[in-house]
Chain A
């Protein structure tokens, strides 16, 4: 492949890095979003609803294009002086926004699936609300949310291919550049497919193992 192997390796690194950062940040956004959706305050609920409705109703490609071109201007207006947004952070930010919206819905559903009695019991034995959340709700929620989170993570891995459009050298971009300059799209896109398939397979296996670990104490 004319020396593109090494580039593919670096592309793989970028893809994993972007997915890992966006996934982690997206989980935090999701937790905050779910808390807002279940909050007593109407304003918070409305903001969270608007966020998930808009992001889940618009193509990921458009979110990325908007963040890439609009992000710098918005941040500059917010901070008051010029802020540089690199392609990497624009990619991370837009994927976080997307991941967070879906994670919000997953966490909200998982929290609602926990019987109310659990919260009441925790509060009645004298736990503070934050302790109730941390010790009672979150661990149970994680278990319920895990399969859906696995699917979401795999979508995220695949969505990283869209950030190649804003110039980040991920697996997809290496494939596009290689296909063009070596004039051999079949080889390069097959190689990219193989790399993505490897990433999703490793993710699936990992989640299976984690799931088994988490379920073990119950049996």
Chain B
């Protein structure tokens, strides 16, 4: 039965692609890309209202390689996927991790950067010391890793933690500390770090560079990194470009552009410019 359906569907599919491909090649592609706009150095808004950051620079670079005209727009994180699916824009570039859960709703390009995340806690809470330079990949949980997590859980029990709504950090915090700590969700990273500075929350888990920018800002000296640098697990293989499932041509175009930018070192150069280190994906 399935074979029969396939056989019937094949001519239609072929006709559709043949009909679409030339039309697609003729038009200069216009792509609107959304980013969150308050997560420096990934993306932020400067004082003239312009969106800047690694995502924006790389976005324009990829578009140049695709021969497309691109515009960036800002969108709060909690609505960034729904607004993509209803067609407010064509792609998301906001340091968004490729996750299984998101893949149920949207497609992703191949990873364009691999970041990591860390907890920041306010100073003076009397927490036991940890090694903030250590790294921990949550993908395969060994016994030694579980011990580190258990220590963290004991240290953070009874504390209040802020997270960005709909972020992977929210998933991780809920999973690891949801039973022992109070969790508050924010619309933007900046509102969240303002509350860390004010002391409404004791700490947060978020993208390492977002938090580094906060700790280096004028009210960042009240807090410090705590516990190991985290990646893998719910964060998946890295940050990818979010694309509607109905838009495979765009995904293919982005994949091609990312592969070429990774090959000739453009991604490496841009990550070094914005993050001060090489965060390009494995080739």
Contact = CB atoms under 8 A, between A and B. Distances in A.
B13 to A, nearest CB: 21
Contacts of B38: 177, 180-181
B74 A167 contact: yes
B37 interface: yes
Interface string B66-83: 000000011110010011
B277 interface: no
A10 B218 contact: no
Contact of A72 (B76, B86, B188): B86
B82 A69 contact: yes
B185 interface: no
B199 to A, nearest CB: 15
B191 interface: yes
A42 interface: no
Nearest to A70: B86
A178 to B, nearest CB: 8
Contacts of A7: 47-49
Residue of A72, A82, A84, A167 with most chain B CB atoms under a 10 A cut-off: A167
A178 B46 CA distance: 9
A174 B48 CA distance: 10
A214 to B, nearest CB: 41
Contacts of A72: 86-88
Contact of A3 (B47, B83, B219): B47
B278 interface: no
B37 A177 contact: yes
Contacts of B197: 183
Given A69-B86, A72-B86, A183-B218, A177 B45 contact: yes
B111 to A, nearest CB: 26
Nearest to A65: B79
Nearest to B214: A183
Interface string A3-17: 110110010000000
Contacts of A181: 38, 44-47, 190
Interface of B: 37-38, 44-49, 73-76, 79, 82-83, 86-88, 188, 190-191, 194, 197, 217-219
6 contacts: A2-B47, A68-B79, A69-B86, A72-B88, A166-B79, A169-B49
